[in-house]
Structure 1
Amino acid sequence: MFIEIGTAFFDPAAWPHMFSLDNTATWPEKIIRPIVVYASLVVLLRIFGRRELAQLNPFDLVVILSLSNTVQNAIIGQDNSLIGGLVGAIALLLINYFFAWVKFKFRTVEKLAEGNTVKLMENSRIHHKAVRREMMTDTDLASIVHEAGFDCVEDVEKIVLDPNGKFLVEGKDEIKDNEFKSQVLKKIDSLTKQISDLTATLQKT
């Protein structure tokens, strides 16, 4: 295997093919393809909601993996050359940088592209219409609550879905107080045990 790699590495005929575009692709095409795919994905994710960014169940994971494989051919076409792949990657990075700059300069564009925050629960009351709009089930809400460190939905005061797909979960005040008291008691017990061990050690000496 190493002999074959060495032969290919020192083969003069391999280098021009590696650093030249395929005959089926042109420079403008290699630049335009990633831009069109990037813009299309931004629009599609905006239309179909933030579920793909927020809660990835097995079905959503299959969609994401299939989507990446599907758009690969749309970006590079039939060109498998090294320079063609680099041109496509650079075009993607540049369009992403440009889009980030536009969002930074114009907040209206950011709202149009990412949307607003969605309140799924407020004052311990679930907004069922918003939950249905995001196509989330009671099991999804329970998973979000558990990941935030709460035992059940009843312990939560507010759940907000940010435009970036992350969840903000706030517990009820009494739950927060109970958790704080529990942590303090655990630390007191730990300190008491350490003092007892230290006292026993000093008595032996």
Structure 2
Amino acid sequence: MIDHMFHLPLPIVEKLLRPVIVYLVLVLLLRLFGKRELAQLNPFDLVVLLSLSNTVQNAIIGDDNSITGGVIGAFSLLAINWFVVRLLFRSPRLTRALEGRSVILIRDGHVDEKALKREALTREELVEVIHRQGFEHVHEVHRCDLEPNGSFYVEARDPSIADKRHDELLANHKELLTRFEALNQEIAALRSRPATA
């Protein structure tokens, strides 16, 4: 039984190459199919990612269910990932080529419909993203980027000078109303006093 658990039916070189090839193909496919797959915006995208891992399992392990084969496959995946991460760290140009660039979805409170269409995002999904970031409306967002790793960067819109001036005037108006009300109460109090001769 112990011998069967560690018996390797496939050559070691094949066990090393299978995960490397699957890894590189998945990186390429995820790059081609866009950032949406990484963002996992809806249940369908999550199902695709979970199914994808199950789909490539046999391509990685082949007909081998041994512990030795599993350890070699895991080592191979970790080694190729380590190598790719180090390579991308040293080469920003290669990083941009493999990962792509961020896409601006909202600029100055306006949604870029063409960018949404390119990334296969609906307006409702975008609104859901900005709600999760604490914004109520799209016009409150200065900029929203979909990053190459599938995450969203959302930046608040600074109020315009006109908005700031409006808020100041409103605050001044409220203060004047409060003072006016206090004066009215004082005048009413003075009128209600009995006249002294």
TM range (shorter): 0.7 to 0.9
- What one-letter code is carried by the residue in structure 2 that aligns with 1:65? L
Q: CA RMSD in A?
A: 1.7
User: Any unmatched runs of 5+ in structure 1?
Assistant: 1-13, 179-205
Q: Does 1:94 align with 2:79?
A: yes
Counterpart position of 2:144: 159
Deviations 1:76-120 (A, max 9, x none): 011000000110000000000000111011111111110011111
Q: Does 1:34 align with 2:12?
A: no
The structure 1 segments of at least 4 consecutive aligned residues displaced by more than 6 Å after TM superposition are none
CA contact (8 A) 1:55 1:140 kept: no
Counterpart position of 1:64: 49
Q: Does 1:148 align with 2:133?
A: yes
What is the correspondence of 1:38-117 to structure 2 with a 5 Å cutoff? 38-117=23-102
124-133 or 63-72, which moves further after superposition? 124-133
Counterpart position of 1:18: 5
Structure 1 residue aligned with 2:154, among 169, 192, 204? Answer: 169
- What one-letter code is carried by the residue in structure 2 that aligns with 1:85? G
What secondary structure, in the 3-state scheme, does the structure 1 residue paired with 2:159 have?
helix
Shift of 1:56: 2.9
Instruction: Provide TM-score, normalisation by structure 2.
Output: 0.78
Deviations 1:144-200 (A, max 9, x none): 11010011212211101111111111122239x99xxxxxxxxxxxxxxxxxxxxxx
Higher Cα Rg: structure 1 or 2? 2
Shift of 1:132: 0.5
Shift of 1:134: 0.3
Distance 1:55 1:31 in 2: 30
Instruction: Provide TM-score, normalisation by structure 1.
Output: 0.75
Deviations 1:107-141 (A, max 9, x none): 11111110011111112221111111000001111
Counterpart position of 1:198: none
Distance 1:19 1:74 in 2: 20
Shift of 1:55: 3.5
Distance 2:63 2:156 in 1: 53
